[in-house]
Amino acid sequence: MNPGERLAITLAASAVAVTSGTWIVARIRSWRKKSPEEIERLRRLDISRRGRITAGHVVDLIESERAGTSPCLIVYKYQVAGVTYEVAQDVSMLPEIFASAHSLGGQTASVKYDPKRPTNSIIACEDWSGILAISSLTD
């Protein structure tokens, strides 16, 4: 076998290895895609871990009447650096909050927010609640 043939074989083997490696990485990434519920859970936990706390106020409760789903949104407002934010959080995946959501209207609450993006906030998550009536039950 001459040097030109060896080079061609080596290049072909390298191309096959790179293509196979790329295909394997693509399969692993597509296999590990997170559901929207998991992405939201991770967002809540991240804000709970590194967020700052400010005072807030529960404004409203919005429940969907669509068949098969029962999202429950708690609408709350809070102020950071003189700017008032009014946001909603779906609490249907948080059983303790969901169970008592009907009695939360008008309550004062603590809100955790991302200091870099104050619009990114939570009023409750799996391991923290800013709602006073509920947080005293879990402590």
Residue 101's CB is within 10 A of a number of other CB atoms, namely 22
Q: Within this chain, do residues 112 and 76 fall inside the same structural domain, yes or no? A: yes
pLDDT value at residue 42: 92
The strand ranges marked E within the chain are 52-63, 72-80, 83-90, 108-114, 117-122, 124-125, 128-129
Highest mean pLDDT pick, 10-14, 60-64, 80-84? 80-84
Count: domains in the chain: 2
Domain interval for residue 10 = 1-33
Give the β-pairing of 108-114 and 83-90: unpaired
Q: Within this chain, do residues 104 and 125 fall inside the same structural domain, yes or no? A: yes
pTM > 0.85: no
